[in-house]
Amino acid sequence: MAAVRGLCLTAAALRAVTPWQGVSRLLAASRGPRALRELSSSSPEAGEGQIHLTDSCVQRLLEITEGSEFLRLEVEGGGCSGFQYKFSLDTVINPDDRVFEQGGARVVVDSDSLAFVKGAHVDFSQELIRSSFQVLNNPQAQQGCSCGSSFSVKL
């Protein structure tokens, strides 16, 4: 897994440092209040099965994606709390994927991962020490680790 910290990279630069497919390019998770704007899904379902995008997430995705690229959000086992968020740029939509779109920016989540992040918000945060996509206000998470990249689920 390639760790990208403290850099704000374009999609082309990400491809240069991570030439193989499926590797996480940016990952982080955080909790805290933020100005959030809801996203409408490409499916007719509404409510808790949604993923919401902040304006900063939409803006950053429009800057770094090219053509048919989108941000893929996956949940994997691991991290110090049991599960971790994985972000990558992708171009292939699988049959079990849900597409969430706002203002031309797309975030895709597979059905298994959606169960762990439904109702959450995806944000892009730019700080002095790092720039990253983050999952905020995840109603499925009970607690997270101090680094903010992993979480445990509510039972």
Q: Please report the pLDDT score of residue 7 as a whole number.
A: 33
Domains of the chain are: 52-153 (2.60.300.12)
CA angle 22, 25, 26 (to 5 degrees): 135
pTM for this structure? Answer: 0.68
* Percent share of the chain, pLDDT over 90: 45
Distance separating alpha carbons of residues 17 and 4, to the nearest angstrom: 9
Q: Which residues have C-beta within 8 Å of that of residue 76, sequence separation ≥ 6?
A: 83, 84, 86
Any idea which of 23-32, 107-116, 122-131 has the lowest mean pLDDT? 23-32
Q: What is the pLDDT of residues 117-151, one digit of tens each?
A: 999 999 999 988 889 999 988 888 877 665 556 67
Give residue for tokens 């031309």: 104
DSSP string, 118-135: TT-EEEEEE-SS-EEEEE
Strand partners, 109: 73, 98
pLDDT band at 108 (very low <50, low <70, confident <90, very high): very high
